[in-house]
Amino acid sequence: MRRLTGHREVPGEALVRQLWQEHGRAMVAYAGQLAPDRADAEDIVQEALVRAGRHAGALPRDRVAVRGWLLTVMRDVAGVDEHAEQVVDATAVTARLHRLPPGHRVVVDLLYLRGCSVADAAAALGVSAATVRSRAYHALRALREMPPDPPRLPHSVGDRRSTLRRPPHRRSGRTTGQW
């Protein structure tokens, strides 16, 4: 990148440069999937970096979480509407999280949902950073290995548990209440 004479750095420019160095290749690859047209893909990457510069205080502190934030912004910029899929995924993840042991569940919550660093999570839990990393490893492994929850289907009309009732049979003017 060439410096212009008399160029003053705008707030967030150093952060954008650092984000580009750390995540640029992944961003370009993902943008290529979102928009096959190269110019559109470049616009998506550029807009995500501009938003990161504007919202520097809101960025997660963890490198992996920052990449996730950037890729999410890129998807939003591209206009990909996956809201229903996200709701289903979030529901499935929440259900699986509740099946984890409490010690693993709280580590996943702190690291991946709240964006805490390993050191911050360790301090909050009163354990070592190595313990936090170990719990995170085992929790993620357990989540990957969990079978998917069976879909909950509504009761069918012919199902005995159905809340639908047939109207009473009328025979010779009286109600029998039988099927």
- How does pLDDT run along the chain (179 residues), one tens digit per residue? 455 555 566 667 888 999 999 999 999 998 988 887 899 899 999 999 999 988 888 888 888 888 989 998 998 888 754 555 566 567 777 788 889 999 999 999 899 888 889 999 999 999 999 999 999 999 999 988 888 765 555 554 444 444 444 555 555 555 555 54
Q: Quote the CA–CA distance of 51 and 57 in Å, as a whole number.
A: 11
Please report the pLDDT score of residue 164 as a whole number: 46
Which one, of 82, 66, 90, lies nearest residue 33 by Cα?
82
**Rama region for 115: left / alpha / beta (φ>0; ψ in -120 to 50; rest):** left
Report all structural domains of the chain as residue ranges with CATH numbers, in order of start. 11-80 (1.10.1740), 81-148 (1.10.10.10)
pLDDT for residue 88: 59
* Whole-number pLDDT of residue 169: 53
For residue 175, list its beta bridge partners.
170
How many Cα atoms sit within 13 Å of 106 on the Cβ side? Answer: 12
Q: Residue 38 is encoded by which pair of tokens?
A: 């190269």
Q: Which CA distances in Å does 76 have to 33, 41, 44, 84, 120?
A: 13, 13, 9, 14, 30
Contact at 8 Å (CB) between 107 and 132?
A: yes
pLDDT of residue 146: 85
**What integer pLDDT is reported at residue 118 of this predicted model?**
94
